[in-house]
Amino acid sequence: MNNQILDINKLENLYQLFERGAQIAGEGHPLYRFNRTNNKEESMVTVTYDEYLPFLQKMILAYQKLIKKGDKVVLIGETSVQWITTYMATVCAGGIIVPLDPGILDDEVINFTNLAEAKMVVSSKTWEKKHILVDRENEFKTVEHFVELDKSTFTTTSNETFVEGKNMTFNNILALGESEYAKIGGEFVLPEQNTEEMSVLLFTSGTTGTSKGVMLCQRNICAVMIGIDPVLNVLDKYDSVLSVLPIHHTYEMSAGILAPMIYGMTINISDGIKYVQPNAKQFKPSVLTLVPLFVSTLHKKIWKNIEKQGKDKLVKTMSKVFKHAPTSVRRKIFKSVLEALGGNVKYFIVGGAPLNPDIADDFKTFGIHISQGYGITECAPLISVVSLKVYKPASCGKLMPGLEIKFDKEREDETYGEVVVRGKNVMLGYYKMPEITKDVLSEDGWFRTGDYGYMDENGYLYLTGRKKNIIIASNGKNVFPEEIEEYIETIKYVEEVVVVGREHKETGAVDIVAIVVPNKEECDADQLTDDEIIYDAIYHRIMDINKNLEIFKHVSHVEIRKEPFEKTPSKKIKRYLVK
């Protein structure tokens, strides 16, 4: 490996991305840490950068033997070193990786695999236990190999002899890689990389109910890594991240795995969403990549704990007094709050949806800086992000360097328009959907995001809502439900809310309706146990919110929903199911 650190602006492929991190990290520095057994610290495994380098090279050599250039490999399961390695090795070997959501139905796994014409399906043992597809292998029309990942048996060296068959294990493939590595005397040469060809195929499972295959190339991914550098370059190899979010999403793969890798950071792999706090105490990360729903839930838990200790008045007073004190002072004062997350957390990088600025303010007071970003799978996924050196809680940041933006307005007098972008991170198109691709991607490279927003005089981007969610009020004006939902979410008795527009059967006017899932804990704590009392408590508070909204945005009806809304893996509500 060349010891001269690669200029980040010259990144062209995933192998270079890792190699740069290894150059910075140096010998013996941890790359990955994870528990073989969930929530068992004594089972922790550490993989260093210098250990991982030959390991990755062996897996690239193995995949060169198992797949041809352009072959597709379906990858499904929870975050693991094997999952990440399969992703990188497939791409570097000239294949196309197809990460799937482990939460989808078996029929969807089969349909997506067949649509992709995949030659291999790689899945985790944990996933396979819940989705036994052994009896349905004949329904996978093009698959030649099924490979099992098992984090409990992870090793960087295999003690097996490679035997090719339809059903194999990760360690069996590693044995093939070791055999190939021995043949070349460890003198690894990266296969030629075509960074403009599709290397990742992502089937979106968004909030609209329709799945599209987003085609990305290595150039797209590296453009994001280059563009994010001015934002993250306050981090160094002594920082570490806790990987929490579903890894099949570009957000987690980019912000939670690949970006930390560039800086030689340590990637701590969570045992799952329910183990985040014990994992944070164990690994003591300095950075967390999260979605707003998780941040909001964490915020509620922190305040609930403060209230249980009878310290809520004291903490609120101290928050006001020390709000503008130096970060180091605030972190000492609110040490007990920070210790719930391991004590070292300095930054939350948040994306996927807008975060309530009041929540960001609270965490800033505690000594945790929140940086919001905006992205979409079709942009690999980054469009804009707030620098870790800047605090702008209501904005989703400045445009990524090298990206162009314009706002497509329906009327000239509007202050906002549809966000349209062009740059090296914009996708190649939708898989086998040329007509739908034309609808959103122009011949000269401009991509329609479907989001409405505007930019201030300092170049900071603000989003107002999704184009598909807009409610056309009776006076013809646009109502963004997300704006109203943000107000309603501040009511402590509200767990979740979706605002919709419904046409009145008799008058034809558009009624704005808030559908609310109550927060059971808060209702029980205040002895609101009767459905009618809960409704009244929420209804009257929403009517108070109306006083601060323009008349055409007023909520006219409130409905209480007993069950939580169905969500995507990234915790976004599937709005198309809410009528």
**Chain segment 177-198, per-residue pLDDT in tens:** 999 999 999 999 999 999 999 9
Distance CA(399)–CA(381), nearest Å, equals 13
pLDDT score recorded for residue 210: 66
β-strands 398-399, 382-385: how paired? antiparallel
Asked whether residue 23 is domain-assigned, the answer is yes
Looking at the fold, whether 477 and 538 belong to one and the same domain comes out as yes
Indicate whether 135 pLDDT > 90.
no
For helices 14-25 and 81-92, angle between their N-to-C axes, nearest 10 degrees: 130
Tens-digit pLDDT profile for residues 317-348: 999 998 889 999 999 999 999 999 999 999 99
Indicate whether 524 pLDDT > 60.
yes
Q: What is the dihedral of CA 387, 389, 391, 395, to 10 degrees?
A: -10
Of 76-90, 301-315, 337-351, the poorest mean pLDDT is in: 301-315
Q: Name the percent of the chain lying above pLDDT 90.
A: 77
Diameter over CA atoms, the chain = 81
pLDDT score recorded for residue 411: 80
Token couple for 569: 């893996």
How does DSSP classify residue 192?
P
Asked whether residue 492 is domain-assigned, the answer is yes
Q: What is the dihedral of CA 501, 507, 509, 510, to 10 degrees?
A: -10
Indicate whether 561 pLDDT > 90.
yes
Q: Residue 497: which domain range? A: 470-577
Looking at the fold, whether 62 and 79 belong to one and the same domain comes out as yes
Indicate whether 209 pLDDT > 60.
no
| 381 prior amide bond cis, ω within 30 | yes
Looking at the fold, whether 227 and 157 belong to one and the same domain comes out as yes
The helix (H) or strand (E) run that includes residue 474 is none
Asked whether residue 200 is domain-assigned, the answer is yes
Q: Domain holding 534: CATH number?
A: 3.30.300.30
Q: Would you say 231 and 123 are in contact if contact means Cβ atoms under 8 Å apart?
A: no
Q: What is the dihedral of CA 268, 272, 277, 281, to 10 degrees?
A: -30
Q: Would you say 98 and 104 are in contact if contact means Cβ atoms under 8 Å apart?
A: no
Distance of CA 191 to the CA centre of its chain: 30
pLDDT, average across residues 206-214: 70
Distance CA(280)–CA(268), nearest Å, equals 9
Asked whether residue 283 is domain-assigned, the answer is no
**Which residues does residue 288 pair with via DSSP β-bridges, in sequence order?**
242, 348
Looking at the fold, whether 263 and 325 belong to one and the same domain comes out as no
Looking at the fold, whether 145 and 28 belong to one and the same domain comes out as yes
Asked whether residue 476 is domain-assigned, the answer is yes
The pLDDT-based confidence of 484 (bands split at 50, 70, 90) is: very high
Total domain count, the chain: 3
Asked whether residue 152 is domain-assigned, the answer is yes
Of 42-46, 181-185, 427-431, 574-578, the poorest mean pLDDT is in: 574-578
Higher pLDDT, 338 or 466: 338
pLDDT score recorded for residue 208: 47
Indicate whether 71 pLDDT > 90.
yes
Assign 128 to helix, strand or coil: helix
| Domain termination residue (choose one: 421, 443, 466) | 466
pLDDT score recorded for residue 518: 96
Closest by CA to 288, choosing from 216, 223, 342, is 342
Looking at the fold, whether 165 and 76 belong to one and the same domain comes out as yes
Question: Residue 244 burial (CB < 10 Å; 0-12/13-18/19+)?
Answer: buried
Looking at the fold, whether 224 and 307 belong to one and the same domain comes out as no
Indicate whether 94 pLDDT > 90.
yes
The pLDDT-based confidence of 222 (bands split at 50, 70, 90) is: very high
Looking at the fold, whether 72 and 184 belong to one and the same domain comes out as yes
The residue type at 482 = E
| Domain termination residue (choose one: 433, 451, 466) | 466
Average pLDDT across the chain, whole number: 93
Distance CA(557)–CA(514), nearest Å, equals 6
The pLDDT-based confidence of 1 (bands split at 50, 70, 90) is: low
DSSP states of 74-112:
EEESS--HHHHHHHHHHHHTT-EEEEE-TTS-HHHHHHH
Assign 73 to helix, strand or coil: strand
Token couple for 73: 């490999």
Asked whether residue 38 is domain-assigned, the answer is yes
Tens-digit pLDDT profile for residues 264-282: 999 999 998 889 999 999 9
pLDDT score recorded for residue 207: 46
Asked whether residue 243 is domain-assigned, the answer is no
Tens-digit pLDDT profile for residues 7-58: 999 999 999 999 999 999 999 999 999 999 988 999 999 999 999 999 999 9
pLDDT score recorded for residue 242: 98
Of 79-83, 292-296, 339-343, 484-488, the poorest mean pLDDT is in: 292-296
Q: Domain holding 332: CATH number?
A: 3.40.50.12780
Token couple for 298: 């964490």
Assign 307 to helix, strand or coil: helix
Token couple for 367: 């000594």
**Which residues does residue 243 pair with via DSSP β-bridges, in sequence order?**
269
Looking at the fold, whether 485 and 451 belong to one and the same domain comes out as no
Looking at the fold, whether 451 and 476 belong to one and the same domain comes out as no
Dihedral sign for Cα 259, 295, 375, 399, please.
Answer: negative
Looking at the fold, whether 70 and 124 belong to one and the same domain comes out as yes
pLDDT score recorded for residue 391: 95
Looking at the fold, whether 38 and 155 belong to one and the same domain comes out as yes
pLDDT score recorded for residue 200: 98
pLDDT score recorded for residue 366: 95
Neighbours of 491 (CB within 10 A): 20
